[in-house]
Amino acid sequence: MQQDRLWNEWHPVCKAEELLEDPKQVFVLGERVVIFRNEKGVHAFKDLCIHRGAALSLGKVKNGNLVCAYHAWEYDCTGACEKIPALPSGRAIPSKARATVYHCEEYLGLIWVNLGEDPAPLVSFPEYSMEGYRTAICGPYEVKANAPRIIENFLDVSHLMFVHEGLLGDEDHAEVVDYKVEFVDNRLITSKIPVYQPNPDGRSKGGYADYVYEILNPTTARFTKTTEGSDDELTILLAVNQEDHEQAKAFMLLTRNYDLDMPDEPFIEFQDTIFYQDLDIVQSQKPELLPLDLQAELHLKSDALTIAYRKWLNELGVENGTNPIQDEARKKVLVQ
């Protein structure tokens, strides 16, 4: 069961607004997946027609069914083939004429896919629907790296003063105070970590901000940033989809309870700047797979959160951030 951890997790594949009347091809853990929308909601199949292996994503949605572009077999949203035009009338549709169906949900303004038979719960992000909060969706950011490296970078406090100098940190305030990491309600959570911010979120209000980080599952993490003496609260949820062994896509949800009348664009642009400052670093990291052997890299106390993350991945059986190896197709995914 633990070995199936990533396979049973939810992976964000696109913004909900991008999935309109046409089906769309996406990749999850090396699987080619087609997602489509009909009046019943959103659906995901393996992107493969059982007849002659064409990608179903080349087809179209007609009367709620996904129709293959090649010979127009029609699949309903349960994956059953309802119509085969070449079949003489009166002849039964073979029962094996089915698409492989995956779990698919529209949630938090994104489309999420789960390949597993025993899906984990969707991540909880209450701020998204809380009154007085507003969410902007950033990304998707294309990253040539593995999801755990991307998550770790997001959780890394001591780079803020260097990679994001002048925006999220100040070289002269580089020390990181000791903080606690606890496992509560199925997630890792830190105590408040103060970080001096010369220009937090592009708002030019220098001072200390407190970060509380949470790791919700192997590929989803968040932090909430607050400032003493202010009610302003910014939460960022990072959800990463490992598309295949070398490519990932990251989405960020920025939820704020201030400047609600302001458009989202400046916040998104600021986040884009921050993300692209990190990109070269993350793509340069070797080994590509996060070393879960704690002897493999050198750790400081300030790395307590990323150490806890590595230990957790290890316990979950997400070996080296890899996917469970159950068949040849999966073996190609995320394996050195």
By CB under 5 A, residue 127 contacts Co ion? no
Span interacting with ligand FES, options 47-55, 92-100, 113-121, 181-189, rule CB under 6 A: 47-55
Span interacting with ligand FES, options 44-52, 130-138, 172-180, 258-266, rule CB under 6 A: 44-52
278 touches, from ligand FES, Co ion, none (C-beta below 5 to 8 Å by class): Co ion
By CB under 6 A, residue 98 contacts ligand FES? no
Contacts by 276-279 with C-beta closer than 8 Å and gap 24+? 277/163, 277/164, 278/153, 278/159, 278/163, 279/141, 279/143
Q: What is the closest distance, in whole angstroms, from the C-beta atom of residue 49 to ligand FES in the complex? A: 3
Instruction: Give the integer Cα–Cα distance in Å for 26 and 222.
Output: 24
Rounded to 5 degrees, what are φ and ψ at 278?
-80, -25
Per-position DSSP letters for 117-180, written without gaps between them: SSPPPPPP-GGGG-TT-EEEEEEEEEESS-HHHHHHHHH-STTHHHHTBTTTB-GGG-------
By CB under 6 A, residue 62 contacts ligand FES? no
CB atoms < 10 A from the CB of 269, how many?
12
Instruction: Give the integer Cα–Cα distance in Å for 17 and 250.
Output: 17
Residues 263-322 binding Co ion (CB under 5 A) are 278
Q: What is the closest distance, in whole angstroms, from the C-beta atom of residue 236 to ligand FES in the complex? A: 42
Of residues 333, 246, 334, the one with CA closest to residue 283: 246
Residues 70-89 binding ligand FES (CB under 6 A) are 70-71, 73
68 touches, from ligand FES, Co ion, none (C-beta below 5 to 8 Å by class): ligand FES
Q: What is the closest distance, in whole angstroms, from the C-beta atom of residue 50 to ligand FES in the complex? A: 8
Instruction: Give the integer Cα–Cα distance in Å for 20 and 79.
Output: 20
By CB under 5 A, residue 152 contacts Co ion? no
Residue span 159-188 as binding mask against ligand FES, x where in contact by CB under 6 A, dash where not:
------------------------------
* Location of structure tokens 């929308």: 37
By CB under 6 A, residue 51 contacts ligand FES? yes
Rounded to 5 degrees, what are φ and ψ at 274?
-60, -45
List contacts with ligand FES (CB under 6 A).
Answer: 49, 51-52, 54, 68, 70-71, 73
Positions that interact with Co ion (CB under 5 A): 278
